[in-house]
Chain A
Amino acid sequence: MRNIGNIFRRELVAYFATPVAYVFIVIFLLLAGAFTFYLGNFYERGQADLSPFFMWHPWLYLFLVPAISMRLWAEERKSGSIELLMTLPIRSSEAVLGKYLAAWCFCGIALTLTFPIWLTVNYLGDPDNGAILAAYLGSLLMAGGFLAIGACISATTRNQVIAFIITVVVCFMILLPGLPFVLGMFSSWAPQAVVDAIASLSFMTHFSSLSRGVIDLRAMIYFGLVIGFWLAANTIVLELRKAD
């Protein structure tokens, strides 16, 4: 536990030691705002809720989260510092968790900085703040899911660009089964149970229930399992190919 904390602190400080953190946060906030106001028609809808804000998060994360996760291990491999880290008296799982939690916390910071939009909607109307909190939670969990996938993929390569591209592709595949047009292809001939099962594989399905303000236990368990699975895979990848 102590080691996880040490690695977590080192990693989180490292984000802010370089311009990476600031660039990421600024771009995240700009894109989130642009999507909400231009594509989501925030004002024109005339409703005091944040669904035009949250509905774009899966697509925003699809490209921005891999930009954070790509460096997690690939950079350590490239610079050789992985040799230093993995010869310190820590378990691989501690390194995986410490790094992952720092990256997730960083995503959380970026997400928290979107609070002006919450202030805006409260100023303009009388939204259901409980539902907004649930949606924020869902968004954070989804970011965590993307991040766990990206962390594992980053551990397989020393090239950050490769890590980024593969992560985007894998994350897209995981969004895919929840999209209406994909489900439409199945619903014409497959039984409803099969369509539901396919939909339940997707981040999209589980995020949309949370983003509507429903604290859906199944969705939370789903994200928990996804994160757990990919972090376990990350640890195994690391153990198998520490050096090369």
Chain B
Amino acid sequence: MIETERLTKRYGDLVAVDDLSFSVGQGEVLGFLGPNGAGKSTTMKMIAGFVTPTEGAARVCGHDLETDPVAAKREIGYLPEGAPCYGEMTPRSFLEFVADIRGLHGSDKSRHLAEVIERLHLDDVLAQPIDTLSKGYKRRVGLAQAILHDPRVLILDEPTDGLDPNQKHEVRALIREISSDKTIIISTHILEEVHAVCSRAIIIAHGRILADDTPAALEARSRHHNAVSLKLSGIPPLDAASALKGLDVVAAIEQGDEGQLRVVPRDGQFILAAVGQLALERGWHVDELQVESGQLDDVFRDITTAGAQEEART
């Protein structure tokens, strides 16, 4: 549904997006992750047909954004970064304008309008100029505009930015709900969001893809994947730590503030059994025991900073 082929965007000497090739199929929700200035927004702008690539091509539902932009844009719902709107319009007149441009008429139009207004809870502000709305409402007007025509492809640049936790939750639920028959790309800074809605994540930095995997597989790259954290009572943490270090499946022990120990496995092995065995043998009193799946934050930091260091060296 979405394909990019060697997509590149240069601004003078600055390479914003560098030779990016990937494709996203129906039913996939792709999370775009990366530090600020990594090229996420530029890539999305190119797929939405706003920025013209320096080299390479983007295709949506088979339509090339450069040779057949109108056909491609018909298939796309796009929420630009910061959700810009016509501030002097009311949400109702703005959504009607978008519906007209999208070619919705009559009962079809009113049905689509009623649906997005209900889904994004816009009923209370329909007659108020968009300029006077809160950030959360503005974002929801932008989202409403993007999903209004029930597009096959959705491109959402930071859809939950500026929303409160409840609204974030609702928007994520909305994305999950409509994702089954659509192709969705979202960009985000919030890693838990990737967990909540994405079936796949691409990490980019300096315009290049550094990782492309499911959120679970990315977490498995964390050194804390399958780590066991435990809290013991009746034994000094240091003694326990040295005993645990004796196990040959253990790579390191990290000590927490309140006496927790985090046992990091060698090569991501499953070590719960070994740790449990040891605790049993030594007769430790275990208060807490937990296997960690790994932190996306760690993976993100590792991958993006490693990329930066490499960059610095070359």
Within 8 A of A (CB), among B59-84: 70-71, 73-74, 76, 78, 80, 82, 84
User: Shortest Cβ distance from A102 into chain B, in angstroms?
Assistant: 13
- Which has the most chain A C-beta neighbours within 10 Å: B11, B49, B50? B50
Known A79-B87, A83-B45, A84-B84; contact A242-B70, beta-carbon cutoff 8 A: no
SS class, residues of chain A in contact with chain B: helix
Is A39 engaged at the interface, CB distance under 8 Å to the other chain?
Answer: no
Known contacts A17-B88, A87-B73; decide if A242 and B78 are in contact (CB<8 Å). no
Give a binary string over B82-112; 1 marks a CB under 8 Å from any A CB, 0 the rest. Answer: 1011111100010001101111000000000
B73 lies within 8 A of A88 (CB): yes
Contact of B45 among A6, A17, A89, A243 (CB under 8 A): A243
Interfacial chain B residues near A122, Cβ < 8 Å: none
User: From residue 69 to 128 of chain A, which have CB atoms closer than 8 A to chain B?
Assistant: 79-81, 83-84, 86-91
Q: Which of B71, B76, B89, B145 is in CB contact (< 8 Å) with A17?
A: B89
Partner of B49, one of A2, A80, A86, A244: A86
Task: Report yes or no: A14 in contact with B88, Cβ–Cβ below 8 A.
Answer: yes
Q: How large is the interface on B (under 10, 10 to 19, 20 to 34, 35 or more residues)?
A: 20 to 34
Are A88 and B45 in contact, with the CB atoms below 8 A?
no
By the criterion CB–CB under 8 Å, are B80 and A84 in contact? yes
A242-B50, A243-B45, A243-B51 given as contacts; is B80 within 8 A of A6 (CB)?
no
Nearest Cβ on chain A to B10's Cβ, whole angstroms: 12
Write out the residue numbers on chain B whose beta carbons fall within 8 Å of the beta carbon of A80.
Answer: 80, 82, 84
**Cα separation A14 to B90 with both chains bound (whole Å):** 11
The yes or no answer to A218 lying at the interface (CB within 8 A) is: no
Contact with A along B1-44 (1 / 0, CB 8 A): 00000000001000000000000000000000000000000000
What size tier do the contact residues of chain A reach?
20 to 34
Residues of B near A3 (CB, < 8 A) are: 101
A14 and B89 within 8 A (CB): yes
Task: Give the chain A neighbours of B80 by CB distance below 8 A.
Answer: 80, 83-84, 87
Give min CB distance, A2 to chain B, whole Å. 8
For B93, list chain A residues within 8 Å (CB). 10, 13
Which of A6, A84, A242 touches B51 (beta carbons < 8 Å)? Answer: A242
Q: Does B52 contact A (CB under 8 A)?
A: yes
Hey, what's the 0/1 contact readout for B155-191 against A, CB within 8 Å counting as 1? 0000000000000000000000000000000000000
Q: Which residues of B contact A (CB under 8 A)?
A: 11, 45, 48-52, 70-71, 73-74, 76, 78, 80, 82, 84-89, 93, 97-98, 100-103, 129, 145
**Can you list 19 A-B pairs, Cβ within 8 angstroms, ordered by A?**
A2-B103, A6-B101, A10-B93, A14-B86, A17-B129, A79-B86, A79-B87, A81-B86, A84-B145, A87-B49, A87-B73, A87-B76, A87-B78, A88-B73, A88-B98, A89-B73, A89-B74, A90-B101, A242-B50
Q: Knowing that A2-B103, A89-B101 are A-B contacts, what are 6 other residue pairs whose CB atoms are under 8 Å apart, sorted by A's residue number?
A: A6-B100, A10-B97, A81-B86, A84-B145, A88-B101, A243-B45
